[in-house]
Amino acid sequence: MIEYLLVFLGGAIPWLEIGLVIPVGIVGGLSPVWVIIAAFAGNLITVLVVIFGYQKFKVWRESRNGKNEKAESKRTERGKRIWNKYGMPGLALVGPILIGTHIAAFIGLFFGASKTNTTVWMTLSIAVWSLIFGVVTAMGFNFFVSTS
């Protein structure tokens, strides 16, 4: 049980997220179904915190009124290019691979996506990528275990 809690927490941590936690959990011998569910839930909960906490960030940023503005990071620039080309659906679907789910949600909101739109697309994206990472890892791991 503690292992699945660790998978949940790993899925919630930016930069670990589902792309690392799901394969590690499955290769570690945990049930692929429960690993996928735990990592999905952990990642989604913290992404929802980002989405619904964005308004407070926006108010804080506007109160600073442009003081100490930093140059955009490479991740933000990459997110902006994706946003300009594909909008929220594209950002949500490629975000977990290129920039991470938390940053993708933040960038979508920053560029004007609604909370509802961001929530729907990020939930769909996290679910799809959780399944992809889980199924591919389980199939690949079973292939190597079976042929040894």
Q: How many Cβ atoms are within 10 Å of 92's Cβ, its own excluded?
A: 29
Answer whether residue 147 shows pLDDT above 60. no
pLDDT of residue 71: 63
List the chain domain ranges.
Answer: 2-63+73-141
Q: Measured between alpha carbons, how far is 126 from 41 in angstroms, rounded to an integer? A: 9
pLDDT of residue 146: 56
Answer whether residue 101 shows pLDDT above 90. yes
pLDDT digit string, tens, across residues 103-138: 999 989 988 899 999 999 999 999 999 999 999 999
Q: Measured between alpha carbons, how far is 19 from 95 in angstroms, rounded to an integer? A: 11
pTM of the predicted model, to two decimals? Answer: 0.81
User: What does the DSSP 8-state code read for residue 13?
Assistant: S
Which amino acid type is present at position 51?
Answer: I
Q: How confident is the model at residue 85 (pLDDT cuts 50, 70, 90)?
A: confident
Q: How confident is the model at residue 26 (pLDDT cuts 50, 70, 90)?
A: very high
Q: Please, which contacts does 79-87 make with residues 24 or more away whose CB atoms are closer than 8 Å? A: 79/103, 79/104, 79/107, 80/107, 80/111, 83/107, 83/108, 83/111, 87/113
Residues whose CB is less than 8 angstroms from the CB of residue 134 and which lie 6 or more positions away in sequence, other chains included: 22, 26, 32, 33, 35, 36
pLDDT digit string, tens, across residues 27-75: 999 999 999 999 999 999 999 999 999 988 888 877 876 555 566 678 7
